[in-house]
Amino acid sequence: MGRGRSKAKQTKVARDLKYSNQDMDLERLAKELHGEVKEDKGFDDDSSNDNYTTRN
């Protein structure tokens, strides 16, 4: 039980994606899928590593 609401939300999201008129850079997408685009790491935040402790 409870599947109806989540399925309805997924259907709504899928419909929004299908019918939305977004501008896409298809050439960049093709290059990315073929591995020709270097990943742009504009956000280098190492704060997530500060809370890491190793187990002994």
Q: What is the mean pLDDT of residues 30-37?
A: 86
pLDDT grade for 56, boundaries at 50, 70 and 90:
low
From CA 38, how far away is CA 17, in angstroms rounded?
26
pLDDT tens sequence across 11-28: 999 998 888 877 878 898
Higher pLDDT, 19 or 50: 19
